Amino acid sequence: MRAPKTRLIFDAAIDTFSERGFEKATMDEIAAKANVAKGTIYYHFKSKEDLFVFLVEEGSQLLRERVLEKLPEEATAAERLRLVIREQLAFFKEYRDFCTIILREAWGEEERQRQFRRMLVHYVREIEALVADGVANGEFLVEDAQTAAWSIFGGLSIAALHHLFADPEFDLTVLSPGCETLFIGGLQSGRP
């Protein structure tokens, strides 16, 4: 990743994969965007699949770092979940290309898709743990923390994706308050 060309390829690949999807993206386009010869990509990455997996791994790791690692241990589950929602949206705002890739490319039986899902599972499991914490200490009341976690992750993601496709310049962070209210308090938030 330190090699300068690798960085160029990485960025061009993110861009291209998010714009076209894995199958429609061509190595020619990635090479052109990165301003390197096609062979150069293959010097640094074994295959198109390999490039994709590398990129998804980096992105997933970044997502975990950004969203999960700064959670204050002492805060309540609700406060931490609010932070997760805020940070995930902020992440999607900064890396909108990666956000697109997540939802498009994770679902299928190809090896790269399975690998991708494994990383998502890894991430969502942390949200699940957070929800379970809240349940354990009486803050939350849900039976199935896993489904709740996937609903939250998926709800945020699809809402973000929808807005991004409607308006590429849309500022996703404005969605935070609404999403926090919805997932923490529900639609009946504040009702007796």
Partner DNA sequence: GATGAATGAGCTTTCATTCAT
Partner DNA sequence: CATGAATGAAAGCTCATTCAT
Residue type at position 123: Y
Pick the piece of the chain touching DNA (CB under 7 A) from 18-26, 74-82, 106-114, 122-130.
Answer: 18-26
Q: Rounded to whole angstroms, what are the CA distances from 48 to 39, 45, 109, 123, 138?
A: 12, 7, 17, 25, 48
Report yes or no: 100 and 161 within 8 Å, Cβ to Cβ: yes
26 binds, among DNA, its own copies, none (CB under 5 to 8 A by kind): DNA
Q: What φ, ψ does residue 152 adopt, rounded to 5°?
A: -65, -50
Residue 5 is a binding residue for DNA (CB under 7 A): yes
Nearer to DNA, 27 or 90 (CB): 27
Of positions 7, 21, 28, 75, contacts DNA by CB under 7 A: 28
Distance of alpha carbon 79 from alpha carbon 10, whole angstroms: 35
Residues 6+ apart with CB under 8 A from 168: 96
Interface contacts to its own copies, rule CB under 8 A: 19-21, 23-24, 78, 81, 100, 103-104, 107-110, 117, 124, 131, 134, 139-144, 147-148, 150-159, 161-163, 165, 175, 177-179, 181-191
Spell out, one character per residue from 29 to 68, where the chain touches DNA: x when CB under 7 A holds, - when not: -------xxxxx-xxx-xxxx-------------------
